[in-house]
Amino acid sequence: QVQVVESGGGLVQAGGSLRLSCTASGSAFDNYAMGWFRQAPGKEREGVSCISRSGGFTYYTDSVKGRFTISRDNGKNTLYLQMNSLKPEDTAMYYCAAERDSGPWCYVAGFKYNYWGQGTQVTVSS
Q: Which of 91, 100, 98 is nearest to 120 (CA)?
A: 91
Question: Residue 27's pLDDT is what?
Answer: 81
Q: Which of 78, 85, 44, 79 is nearest to 63 (CA)?
A: 85
Question: Residue 1's pLDDT is what?
Answer: 84
Question: Residue 91's pLDDT is what?
Answer: 98
Q: pLDDT by residue for the chain (126 residues), tens digit each? A: 899 999 999 999 999 999 999 999 988 898 999 999 999 999 999 999 999 999 999 999 999 999 999 999 999 999 999 999 999 999 999 999 999 978 899 999 999 999 999 999 999 998
Question: Within a 13 Å sphere around the CA of 111, how many CA atoms are in the beta-carbon half?
Answer: 0
- Other C-beta atoms within 10 Å of 1: how many? 8
